[in-house]
Amino acid sequence: MRAKAFWLILVALGLGTKRHWHILVAILLGVILGINLPYPTLAAEPDRFFFIHQFFNIVGQLFIRLITMIVVPLVVSSLIVGVSSLGDSRQLGRMGAKVLTYFLLFMGVSALLGAGLALWLQPGMQLQQNLFSQADTASIIQQLQQSPHQDLQALFFNMIPRNPIESLANADLVPVIIFTLLFGAAVASIGDAGKPVIHFFEALFTATMKLTDWVMIFAVPGVFSLAFTTVAKSGIGVFNELWLYVATVLIGLLFQIIIIFPLALKTLAKINFMNLYRAISEAIMVAFGTASSSATLPITIACMERRAGVSNRIASFVLPTGATINKTATTMFEVIAVLFLLQAYHIPIDAYNVGMIILFSIIASIGAAGVPSAGLITIAIVLNSIGKFQMDYLAGGMALLWSIDRVLDMCRTVVNVMSSCTVAALVASSEGELNRDVLNNHDAWTEVV
């Protein structure tokens, strides 16, 4: 009886006219199917559902490819349009400083929150040492060693592109953003001579947004397939061992969504957070499905401009930088994950170590790309910073974290996107560029996807 009611609700939601309901239903159905049709374990018989798994794997990957292909032209064109519309370099400096202050503030608060939660709940103490021997240590060490973000000095150097075309081709978004910001400022500073360049990028931006609309036609099957393959691959058994760690991360993420962002929106800009969250609902679901804030960027921009009432000038400046720099969820996650490892291995730490972990988690999350698992890869930077041990020593624990990361990654990507949207709304409000009539009038919203 209950199952019947559940299906009825799902169907009703699925038939609702709004596209974001369709996406939500697609995610739920994907998760349910994934639990019921898991990938075979080694002990199991040959995969009876091979074709189903393969098919949805392909559909999901195609969707990710389609949205990822939009990201580089979108970041470049929106930033150049945004920066050049800011006018002179003083305006740009003022706005840049404001946005960066918000980003750092949010990341600082979430790092402190992560430290508080991990020290209080002690998720690492739950584990038995012998769990680590089961882990696939060698491949983890290899992955970490291949990580381009291992060393802090290289991280900083890599922010400045040696050749912007190379960074564009590799979709290395931090150097692309640095170059584009400077280039946009230079174009704005040459007056009329720069107009054709600006017109070109305006047209590029509009065309890229159009392309986003087309690609989002595939959002429902795409997100369904991604949810299905993720759950079918990782299963849900692993949650048994690590439930306290998972709970710690999820509590921290929820705290940001229901306390920190709403409080900031209310006190600094008198914005009702539910209106903003409703406006960006498609972006939230796509972030969850793709685990990539960069890939979600086109939809984030569309939601913020068309529904949240944020001006194009602010959205096109804050959101691309936010998707690359502002990763509040990742910062908090890195603090929790590192403290978890230290607790699990019974490595004693003092207040100074905790301070370093907080500081380096902020730096590492800024350096983390907006792609799946970036937050876990850049943990190496945080671990190295406290330098108490060899990486190899922690590899077993890292393997455990990898085994469960995809689902947490989906959740933190949602919060990363929400955080950048919150900053964009705050900045727009303080600049008098938030159209509250649009934000508060849901009935007049157009479909974003």
Closer CB to ligand ASP, residue 175 or residue 375? 375
- Measured in whole angstroms, how far is the alpha carbon of residue 398 from the centre of its chain? 21
Closer CB to ligand ASP, residue 10 or residue 109? 109
Q: How many CB atoms lie within 10 A of CB 233?
A: 13
Site for ligand ASP in 429-448 (CB under 6 A): none
The alpha carbon torsion through 202, 367, 351, 246 (nearest 10 deg) reads 90
Q: Is residue 309 part of the contact set for ligand ASP (CB under 6 A)?
A: no
In the set 77, 330, 419, 422, which binds ligand ASP (CB under 6 A)?
Answer: 330
Least distance (Å) from ligand ASP to the CB of residue 299?
A: 13
CB 286 within 8 Å of CB 68: no
Stretch that binds ligand ASP, among 87-95, 180-188, 325-333, 381-389 (CB under 6 A): 325-333
At 310, phi and psi to the nearest 5?
-85, 135
Least distance (Å) from ligand ASP to the CB of residue 290?
A: 8
What spatial distance separates the first Cα and last Cα of the chain, rounded to whole Å? 35
For the chain, the 3-state helix, strand and coil shares in percent, each to the nearest 5, are: 80, 0, 20
Q: Is residue 282 part of the contact set for ligand ASP (CB under 6 A)?
A: no
In the set 74, 215, 285, 291, which binds ligand ASP (CB under 6 A)?
Answer: 291
Closer CB to ligand ASP, residue 331 or residue 429? 331
Least distance (Å) from ligand ASP to the CB of residue 371?
A: 6
Query: One-letter amino acid identity for 322?
Result: G
Residue 402-421 contact track with ligand ASP, rule CB under 6 A, x = bound: -------x--xx--x-----
Structure tokens at 416: 């990363």
Closer CB to ligand ASP, residue 19 or residue 327? 327
Total chain residues near ligand ASP (CB under 6 A): 17
Stretch that binds ligand ASP, among 99-107, 180-188, 287-295, 337-345 (CB under 6 A): 287-295
Give the containing element (helix H, strand E) for 68: helix 50-85
Q: Is residue 252 part of the contact set for ligand ASP (CB under 6 A)?
A: no
Residue of minimal Cβ distance to ligand ASP: 375
CB 321 within 8 Å of CB 419: no
Dihedral of alpha carbons 120, 106, 256, 410, sign: negative
Q: Taking Cα atoms as reference points, which of 342, 338, 320 lies closest to residue 330?
A: 338
Least distance (Å) from ligand ASP to the CB of residue 419?
A: 10
**Rounded CA gap, 319 and 297, in Å?**
7
Least distance (Å) from ligand ASP to the CB of residue 398?
A: 14
Residues whose CB is less than 8 angstroms from the CB of residue 417 and which lie 6 or more positions away in sequence, other chains included? 280, 283, 284, 287, 293, 296, 300, 323
Site for ligand ASP in 339-398 (CB under 6 A): 368, 370-375
Closer CB to ligand ASP, residue 343 or residue 416? 416
Which residues contribute to the site for ligand ASP (CB under 6 A)? 291-293, 327, 330, 333, 368, 370-375, 409, 412-413, 416
